[in-house]
């Protein structure tokens, strides 16, 4: 997540559906991509993407009675779990885990986190923003594993198209199925981790990122990105309702259902805009019956705040101990210069903008495009799978695994005997086997867990 040496500026954004003309809706944003969830459970990746290859002989990933294609929404197939429900369960599991361990399992953009500014011990006193060592005061953010301050911004690298030859679908193993999509675009950037693929026309919205990629390489002034072709199935095809003719799977025998273009953006933390905004409440005395001499006959301003921009850095990255100071950005020097408090006193509170979260060593070493470590991905998948309330589109070992993870260990049926320890029974996630497994693994992290303790200034 470090800044790239490449050029380009962008506009800070926070996600959302984007301005595209598509009627498709994005999935809830998750740190664990849906495709990686399918990989962990051993699900057929093409079926999980809602597709078949009826035009190929022999068929690739053929369907059978118990391994059917997946639908996006529950209402498209009432008897089976949908992709949207799984995404929502993954989203919920990730936030429960982050609340327990005190940081996100993977990088996450934090926007407008409200933090009360540290006060002097004596309530009637006014501070100068410095601690007993004459350094800027430290405040504790909600999440640890701080990466850097700044707001999420994107800059367009380019649009890859099949017509222009910069987006190519290929059959690598000669079986007739176009399983690989390759994006090739010119760039002056040097940090491949910042370059990401998005559904076209969505302005690089976080919800429309295409993940995961297989490889991303910058060489000779070009970035080359390889990913599974089924990740680029046109999102519109997932919105089709069932008809009287029955449900139809997406036909991936050719490149017809795949997107003919994708947008490639650089995603980075924009540090040219305020990563900290300070707020002062209205403290002037107000007489509700007499006009205020200092502001004319209309009375003084009430129910509003004075604000001032600043920047945020970290004093303790793991625990999220941050330092926010008032400052102004100098475009010529490309740096923030400290300045005095707007009202000559410390603010009441501050809004913080930053990115934080754990990052796998494989990702940091450039050996993987996935910042989410497998350790966390497994835990998230266990909890989400344990909470499924409908059958999955699979059979055999996969169905048995889903049923096994979803077994509630606090309830016995018939002559069944269950021995559950008090620790497992008190699992903060629940008593289903997948939830208990996650709790047992996370409970071993307790000595290293970030604790929300007071920071004394």
Instruction: Note whether 112 and 159 are same-domain residues.
Output: no
Within a domain: 1: no
Take residue 262 and report the two structure tokens written for it. Answer: 């994708």
Question: What span, in angstroms and rounded, lies between the C-alpha atoms of 93 and 89?
Answer: 6
Take residue 116 and report the two structure tokens written for it. Answer: 């009360």
Within a domain: 91: no
* pTM for the whole structure: 0.88
Burial class (CB in 10 A: 0-12, 13-18, 19+), 241: exposed
Domain boundary among the residues 269, 295, 311 is at: 269
Within a domain: 235: yes
Q: What is the pLDDT of residues 214-230, one digit of tens each?
A: 999 999 999 999 999 99
Within a domain: 366: no
| Dihedral of alpha carbons 117, 123, 128, 130, sign | negative
Instruction: Note whether 60 and 189 are same-domain residues.
Output: yes
Residue 456's pLDDT is 37
Q: What is the pLDDT of residues 265-307, one digit of tens each?
A: 999 999 999 999 999 887 655 555 555 555 544 555 667 888 9
Domain boundary among the residues 242, 269, 296 is at: 269
Instruction: Note whether 224 and 191 are same-domain residues.
Output: yes
Residue 160 clears pLDDT 60, i.e. is over it: yes
Residue 293's pLDDT is 52
**Angle between the 397-406 and 374-386 helix axes, to the nearest 10 degrees?**
80
Within a domain: 90: no
Question: What span, in angstroms and rounded, lies between the C-alpha atoms of 204 and 197?
Answer: 8
Report angle CA 191, 214, 80 to the nearest 5 degrees: 130
Question: What span, in angstroms and rounded, lies between the C-alpha atoms of 390 and 237?
Answer: 23
Coil, strand, or helix at residue 356?
strand
Instruction: Note whether 250 and 184 are same-domain residues.
Output: yes
Instruction: Note whether 263 and 339 are same-domain residues.
Output: no
Enclosing domain of residue 330: 100-150+271-361
Pair type for strands 222-228 and 215-219: antiparallel
Instruction: Note whether 351 and 276 are same-domain residues.
Output: yes
Answer whether 216's CB lies under 8 Å from 223's CB: yes
Instruction: Note whether 71 and 171 are same-domain residues.
Output: yes
Domain boundary among the residues 361, 393, 413 is at: 361
Cα–Cα distances (Å) from 61 to 37, 44, 182, 395, 407, in that order, read: 18, 7, 21, 14, 30
Instruction: Note whether 78 and 184 are same-domain residues.
Output: yes
Instruction: Note whether 79 and 117 are same-domain residues.
Output: no
Q: How many domains is the chain partitioned into structurally?
A: 3
Residue 50's pLDDT is 92
Mean pLDDT to the nearest integer, 55-61:
85
Take residue 355 and report the two structure tokens written for it. Answer: 């990115």
Within a domain: 335: yes
Residues contacting residue 72 through CB under 8 Å, at least 6 positions apart: 50, 82, 83, 84, 238, 239
Instruction: Note whether 332 and 294 are same-domain residues.
Output: yes
Largest CA distance in the chain: 88
Q: What is the pLDDT of residues 169-202, one digit of tens each?
A: 999 999 999 999 999 999 999 999 999 999 999 9
Instruction: Note whether 32 and 115 are same-domain residues.
Output: no
């Amino acid at each position: 997540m470090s800044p790239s040496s490449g050029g380009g500026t962008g506009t800070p954004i926070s996600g959302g559906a984007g301005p595209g003309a598509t009627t498709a809706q994005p999935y809830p944003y998750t740190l664990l991509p849906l495709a990686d969830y399918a990989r962990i459970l051993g699900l057929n990746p093409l079926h999980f993407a809602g597709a078949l290859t009826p035009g190929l002989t022999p068929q690739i990933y053929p369907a059978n009675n118990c391994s059917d294609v997946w639908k996006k929404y529950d209402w498209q197939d009432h008897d089976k779990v949908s992709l949207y429900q799984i995404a929502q369960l993954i989203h919920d599991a990730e936030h429960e885990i982050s609340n327990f361990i005190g940081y996100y399992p993977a990088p996450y953009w934090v926007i407008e986190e409200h933090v009360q500014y540290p006060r002097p011990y004596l309530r009637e006193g006014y501070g100068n923003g410095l601690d007993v060592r004459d350094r800027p005061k430290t405040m504790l953010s909600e999440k640890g594993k701080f990466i850097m301050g700044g707001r999420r911004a994107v800059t367009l690298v380019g649009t890859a198209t099949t017509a222009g030859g910069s987006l190519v679908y290929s059959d690598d193993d000669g079986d007739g199925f176009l399983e690989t999509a390759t994006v090739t675009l010119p760039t002056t950037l040097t940090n491949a981790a910042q370059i990401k693929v998005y559904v076209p026309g969505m302005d690089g919205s976080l919800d429309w990122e295409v993940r995961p990629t297989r490889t991303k390489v910058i060489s000779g002034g070009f970035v080359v990105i390889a990913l599974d072709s089924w990740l680029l199935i046109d999102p519109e095809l997932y919105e089709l309702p069932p008809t009287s003719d029955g449900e139809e799977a997406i036909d991936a025998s050719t490149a017809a259902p795949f997107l003919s273009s994708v947008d490639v953006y650089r995603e980075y933390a924009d540090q040219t805009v305020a990563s900290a905004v300070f707020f002062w409440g209205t403290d002037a005395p107000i007489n509700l019956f007499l006009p205020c001499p200092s502001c004319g006959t209309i009375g003084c301003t009430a129910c509003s705040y004075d604000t001032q921009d600043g920047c945020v850095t970290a004093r303790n990255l793991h625990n999220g101990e941050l330092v926010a100071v008032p400052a102004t950005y100098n475009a010529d020097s490309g740096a923030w210069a400290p300045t005095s408090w707007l009202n000559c006193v410390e603010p009441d509170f501050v809004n913080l903008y930053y990115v934080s979260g754990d990052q796998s060593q494989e990702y940091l070493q450039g050996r993987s495009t996935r910042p989410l470590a497998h350790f966390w991905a497994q835990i998230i998948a266990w909890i989400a799978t344990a909470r499924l309330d409908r059958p999955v589109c699979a059979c055999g070992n996969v169905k048995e695994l889903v049923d096994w993870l979803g077994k509630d260990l606090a309830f016995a049926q018939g002559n069944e005997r269950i021995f559950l320890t008090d620790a497992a029974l008190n699992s903060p996630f629940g008593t289903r086997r997948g939830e208990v497994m996650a709790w047992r693994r996370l409970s071993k992290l307790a000595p290293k867990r970030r604790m929300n303790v007071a920071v004394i200034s």
